[in-house]
Amino acid sequence: MVNQEDIFKKVISHAKEYGYVVQSSEIYDGLSAVYDYTQNGAELKKNIKEYWWKAMVQMHENIVGIDAAIFMHPTTWKASGHVDAFNDPLIDNKDSKKRYRADVLVEDYVARIEAKIDKEVQKASKRFGETFDKNQFLKTNPRVLGYQEKAESILKRLGRSLEAEDLADVKNLIEELEIACPVSGSKNWTDVKQFNLMFGTKLGASAENATDLYLRPETAQGIFVNFLNVQKSGRLKIPFGIAQIGKAFRNEIVARQFIFRMREFEQMEMQYFIKPGTQIEWYEKWKELRMKWHLSLGMGEENYRFHDHEKLAHYADAASDIEFRFPFGFKELEGIHSRTDFDLASHEKYSGKKLQYFDPELNQNYVPYVVETSIGVDRMFLAVFSNSLKEEELENGTTRIVLKIPAVLAPTKAAVLPLIKKDGLPEIAHKIIDDLKWDFNVIYDEKDAVGRRYRRQDAAGTPFCITVDHQTLEDETVTIRHRDSMEQMRIAVSAVNETIANEVAIKHWLKKME
């Protein structure tokens, strides 16, 4: 546990030190759960968005992208259910005065049971060695079965109570499980209350006739209200999708996990409009496609899993999360939801406008069903960043810190380094940069010995270093060094561009989805 916390602390301090993420308004002691992306972070974030956009919009003939406003007519949020139902159940510990999400307290308790199962598996795997059959063990070991049953029954009860809005029972559950406040260790809890997560603001100059507005808590509604505009102007036929990347705002109760849970964050969402009755088929299809997208980045299959929801949101008839192994355990990275016709039907009702599709094959009108894929840019950033940060033991006994960001997402693709600062080497390095900068983000670095520069670029996540030395003057070759393998090769200056392109091109990575 301590170890995991240490790793997470290292992730946060590395993000600051290497120009990725800092607390917002840090000079004023920061703003809780709000963060700024600095020079490298801004590039990584942009690359993540591009990787998603290309996979979703450019690679699908029937998916288009939009960019809707953050402010929306306030009735939108009545229709979407956010005014009445976008609540989190909160509970306070009377001794520490700390506030928690009641469901998260219970889920953390279950995560500890699951950790016990993992431990049993590890122990048994050591004991049985090569003959160990994990699936068989999980199905038959009495202790593991006991843990599993307990975890399942707790989650079922939590799901049932939340569904029925029986907040008293959520509190009972916390008391029965004897869950203590992680800060004070006390079990002295208040009642569970609902708390609306939307930020409100006002539109208009004078107080009397100002309109109450909300900062959007999700980007999806900007897609729903534009469903017909896009369908008609694009003459789109069902099934088709509308994608969007943009900011969303939530007044989160628990906001302690760096950029995992922020109050201002960014989402990449796609709503797929389909014929009613085909939703389960499409839901399964999008689960599969989205998992493939994640796996294409090569961050380890074992770091992802699906978590199907027990408790469904008010709009959903099936929902699953893609969870990722963050430094603090498996947590939601992306949601895939079958939203039925809830949103469009509700907007029809509140706006009085028809939001229907004429299906030429069936010769009839209907309100389409929707399957949504929704991923947080910042969570994806944290997944990539935390998974990439490694401390490696080298053969000569030293260690190196390296940020193995998938090359396609790396902020800077190459650093060009003159071996020394004279003999015309800097001039050649600049000439190489002048050629590369048309295609890639590249930087020049001449300070310190070349070994130190390599380490600096490793830690910053730069996949290639190009070193210009005296041999370059003679035969127009340079050394190209790979960040991950530390392998060095001599190649012609004229081949540098193509060598980098082969490894950073989006096409090369997205092809792995096929």
Binding site for ligand ATP (CB under 6 A): 218, 250, 252, 261-262, 265, 267, 332-335, 374-376, 378-379
Q: Which is nearer to ligand ATP, 80 or 374 (CB)?
A: 374
Please report how close the Cβ of residue 242 comes to ligand ATP at its closest, in angstroms.
16
- β-pair partners for 428: none
Q: Which is nearer to ligand ATP, 48 or 419 (CB)?
A: 48
Give the whole-angstrom CA distance, residue 140 versus residue 339: 37
- Enter the tokens of residue 123: 């122990």
Please report how close the Cβ of residue 197 comes to ligand ATP at its closest, in angstroms.
8
Please report how close the Cβ of residue 2 comes to ligand ATP at its closest, in angstroms.
24
Work out the burial of residue 43: count CB atoms within 10 Å of its CB; fewer than 13 is exposed, 13-18 middle, 19 or more buried: buried
Each residue of 97-114: b (16+ CB within 10 Å) or e?
A: eeebbbbbbbeebbeebe
* CB 344 within 8 Å of CB 357: no
Please report how close the Cβ of residue 15 comes to ligand ATP at its closest, in angstroms.
15
Please report how close the Cβ of residue 378 comes to ligand ATP at its closest, in angstroms.
5
Q: Which is nearer to ligand ATP, 41 or 335 (CB)?
A: 335
Q: Which is nearer to ligand ATP, 335 or 461 (CB)?
A: 335
Q: Which is nearer to ligand ATP, 267 or 472 (CB)?
A: 267
What secondary structure, in 3-state letters, does 161-176 show? Answer: HHHCCCHHHHHHHHHH
Distances (CA, A) of 456 to 54, 392, 401, 418: 31, 14, 9, 15
Residues in Cβ contact with 29 at an 8 Å cutoff, skipping those fewer than 6 apart: none
Give the whole-angstrom CA distance, residue 242 versus residue 155: 34
- β-pair partners for 359: 364
Count CB-CB contacts under 10 A for residue 166: 15
How is residue 154 annotated by DSSP?
H
Q: Which is nearer to ligand ATP, 333 or 436 (CB)?
A: 333
Please report how close the Cβ of residue 301 comes to ligand ATP at its closest, in angstroms.
20
Give the whole-angstrom CA distance, residue 120 versus residue 339: 38
Q: Which is nearer to ligand ATP, 221 or 479 (CB)?
A: 221
Give me the count of residues in the chain.
Answer: 514
Please report how close the Cβ of residue 114 comes to ligand ATP at its closest, in angstroms.
17
Residue nearest to ligand ATP (CB): 376
Q: Which is nearer to ligand ATP, 375 or 504 (CB)?
A: 375
The label of the residue with tokens 């991923």 reads 375
Please report how close the Cβ of residue 133 comes to ligand ATP at its closest, in angstroms.
34
